[in-house]
């Protein structure tokens, strides 16, 4: 049942043949071989993605409740600051800030306060590459070595086999997080790319999953070679500007130049200590380099929901949001993953989950003093982003709380907030409204 459900949405863009996913224990999908076998079909338009069967939000879905929960999370500086966006059917139900940007120099977080997105940046890399594929500037089965002739892997044949799709789906063949510790120790990206020639490989490209930040960022060099635009410039011109993401930027210089941005915080005794963002993972722009406000991220959710076909057409979205390789390890960890996820896979810059029988498009991010969660629930046409400026895991339970309410699942205590919050907003007939008000404002970690 699960394979059939996910296979139904594994469609491709008009510039590339379908990518296949095999959600077995190893995740041994061979999208590279499939793309080669069907290479001659790339000039024929692929079918448009089938219309998602839209369902209304479950009774009791009340944005005011989630806003109150977010406010409770920043009370007494449980976390310094937080921003949350909820969009539904192309409408922004809420895009607000809570708490403060800096415990030492307090300013309120609002809808235009900029946060570091960490690995949420990978969704921008996958989408940008898909735009170039749709234009014919490259193909999903294009060899990375054709764009980066100096690239070497431990297996000489592997360097010649590695495709663009392999890079974006973390199927390079390397161990998880190869060279991340070197990045954290302030190593230069280009020197680490040269060292890939000595990095141990666990499989051939396309044959297994291994989450990467350094190798994932090879796609930035591919974008430059294929388009003639530097990666930062291409993201700004092709995504930020047309979508109206006016606060968004790429890189350390970008966040420091923002009129208002949330400082990262680390634990200091019983409280929080603001620190300066490190340049380390910013050197990996495709993997972890984007900064954005919650207002920007609301527009990103709307576009990724298919509501901006002028910028991101449906076939493109179907490609990047389709699972290619199984990632069963994602079903472990936090309680909501263990209890809600039935299957997990990775597409092209996005994770795709079976969340209690419902398709969920997701990515998380964590880097020094910043955390982020982003999710799309296509059948309900719902999108959620939560950003916060500390290394606390406390707000993580807000996402499954919202998803459960949208689907109508029995309440679970995912989140440590005042239990009286929900009863505060119950209407006289005992029901709660299913939509919110208008848009308003108010330690080291890998960006995984």
The pLDDT tens digits of the residues spanning 86-121 come to: 999 999 999 999 999 999 999 999 999 999 999 999
Helix/strand/coil for 183: helix
Q: What is the pLDDT of residue 44?
A: 33
Of how many residues is the chain composed?
448
Quote the CA–CA distance of 303 and 158 in Å, as a whole number.
35
SS3 category, 362:
strand
Please report whether residue 51 resides in a domain. no
The per-type count for the chain, helices as H runs and strands as E runs, is: 19, 13
* pLDDT at res. 380: 97
Residue 341 lies in a domain: yes
The DSSP letter of residue 228 is S
pLDDT above 70: percentage of residues in the chain:
83
58-78 average pLDDT score: 96
What pLDDT band is residue 444 in, cutting at 50, 70 and 90?
very low
- pLDDT value of residue 16: 38
Please indicate, yes or no, if residue 176 is contained in any of the structural domains.
no
Question: What's the pLDDT band for 62 if we cut at 50, 70, 90?
Answer: very high
Task: Output the pLDDT for position 48.
Answer: 36
**pLDDT tens column, 275-292:** 999 999 999 999 999 999
User: What pLDDT is recorded for position 28?
Assistant: 34
**Residue 224 vs residues 132, 319, 342: alpha-carbon distances, Å:** 11, 22, 38
Q: The tokens 């406010």 sit on which residue?
A: 71
What confidence category does residue 14 fall into, taking pLDDT thresholds of 50, 70 and 90?
very low
DSSP reduced 3-state for 6: helix
What is the rounded CA–CA span in Å between residue 186 and residue 282?
Answer: 11
Domain assignment of residue 185, yes or no? no
Please answer whether residues 166 and 212 qualify as being in contact, where contact means their C-beta atoms are separated by less than 8 angstroms: no
Q: Residue 429 domain-assigned?
A: no
pLDDT surpasses 80 at 316: yes
Confidence tier at 392 by pLDDT (50, 70, 90): very high
Residue 422: pLDDT band by 50, 70, 90 thresholds?
confident
Residue 313, domain extent? 63-121+248-415
Mean pLDDT in residue range 167-184? 98
With beta carbons less than 8 A apart as the criterion, state whether 125 and 286 touch: yes
Nearest to 114 by CA among 289, 253, 248, 300: 248
Give the pLDDT confidence score for residue 400 in this predicted structure: 98
Question: Using an 8 Å Cβ cutoff, are 292 and 114 in contact?
Answer: yes
CA dist., res. 320 & res. 330, Å (int): 19
Residue 251 has pLDDT above 70, yes or no: yes
pLDDT given for residue 439 in this prediction: 40
* Mean pLDDT of the region 384-397: 97
Asked whether residue 97 is assigned to any structural domain, the reply reads: yes
Tell me if 325 is assigned to some domain. Answer: yes
Q: In what order do the strands lie in the sheet with 290-293?
A: 114-116, 290-293, 249-250
Which of 39-43, 80-84, 221-225, 345-349 bottoms out in mean pLDDT, i.e. has the lowest? 39-43
Q: Is the pLDDT of residue 430 over 80?
A: no
Total-model pTM: 0.88
Distance between CA atoms of 389 and 266, rounded to whole angstroms? Answer: 9
Q: What pLDDT sits at residue 446?
A: 54
Domain assignment of residue 299, yes or no: yes
Q: Residue 73 is part of a domain; what is its CATH number?
A: 3.40.710.10
* 426 has a pLDDT exceeding 50: yes
Give the pLDDT score at 447. 64
CA distance 292 to 300: 10
Helix axes of 63-74 and 398-407: crossing angle, nearest 10 degrees? 170
Number of structural domains, the chain?
1
Q: Which two structure tokens, joined as six digits, stand for 113?
A: 């306060």
pLDDT at 434: 52
HSE value, Cβ hemisphere, 13 Å, CA-based, for 354: 16
Mean pLDDT taken over the chain: 87
């Amino acid at each position: 049942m699960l394979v059939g459900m996910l296979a139904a949405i594994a469609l491709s863009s008009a510039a590339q043949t379908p990518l296949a996913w095999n959600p077995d224990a190893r995740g041994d999908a061979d999208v590279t071989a499939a793309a080669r076998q069907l290479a001659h079909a790339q000039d024929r338009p692929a079918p448009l993605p089938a219309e998602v069967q839209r369902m209304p939000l479950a009774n009791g879905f009340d944005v005011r409740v989630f806003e109150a929960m977010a406010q409770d999370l920043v009370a007494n500086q449980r976390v310094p600051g937080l921003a949350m966006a909820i969009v539904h059917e192309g409408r922004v139900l809420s895009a607000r800030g809570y708490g403060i940007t800096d415990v030492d120099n307090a300013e309120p977080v609002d809808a235009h306060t900029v946060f570091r997105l960490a690995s949420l940046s990978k969704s921008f890399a996958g989408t940008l590459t898909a735009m170039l594929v749709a234009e014919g500037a490259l193909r999903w089965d294009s060899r990375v070595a054709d764009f980066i002739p100096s690239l070497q892997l431990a297996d000489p044949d592997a360097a010649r086999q590695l495709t663009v799709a392999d890079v974006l789906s973390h199927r390079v063949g390397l161990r998880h997080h190869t060279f991340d510790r070197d990045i954290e120790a302030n190593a230069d990206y280009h020197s680490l790319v040269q060292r890939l020639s000595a990095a141990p490989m666990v499989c051939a490209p396309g044959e297994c999953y291994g989450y990467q930040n350094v190798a994932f960022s090879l796609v930035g060099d591919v974008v430059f070679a294929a388009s003639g635009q530097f990666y930062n410039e291409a993201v700004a011109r092709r995504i930020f500007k047309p979508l109206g993401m006016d606060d968004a930027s790429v890189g350390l210089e970008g966040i420091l130049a923002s009129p208002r941005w949330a400082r990262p915080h680390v634990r200091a005794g019983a409280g929080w200590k603001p620190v300066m963002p490190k340049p380390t993972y910013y050197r990996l722009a495709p993997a972890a380099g984007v900064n954005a406000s919650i207002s920007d991220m609301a527009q990103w959710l709307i576009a990724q929901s298919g509501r901006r076909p002028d910028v991101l057409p449906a076939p493109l979205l179907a490609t990047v949001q389709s699972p290619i390789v199984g990632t069963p390890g994602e079903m472990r960890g936090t309680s909501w993953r263990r209890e809600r996820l039935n299957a997990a896979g990775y597409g092209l810059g996005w994770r795709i989950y079976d969340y209690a029988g419902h398709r969920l498009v997701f990515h998380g991010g964590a880097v020094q003093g910043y955390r982020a969660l982003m999710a799309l629930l296509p059948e309900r046409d719902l999108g959620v982003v939560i950003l916060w400026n500390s290394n606390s895991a406390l707000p993580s339970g807000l996402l499954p709380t919202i998803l459960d309410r949208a689907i109508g699942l029995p309440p679970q205590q995912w989140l440590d907030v005042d239990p009286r919050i929900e009863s505060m907003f119950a209407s006289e007939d005992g029901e709660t409204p299913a939509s919110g008000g208008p848009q308003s404002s108010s330690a080291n970690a890998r960006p995984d």
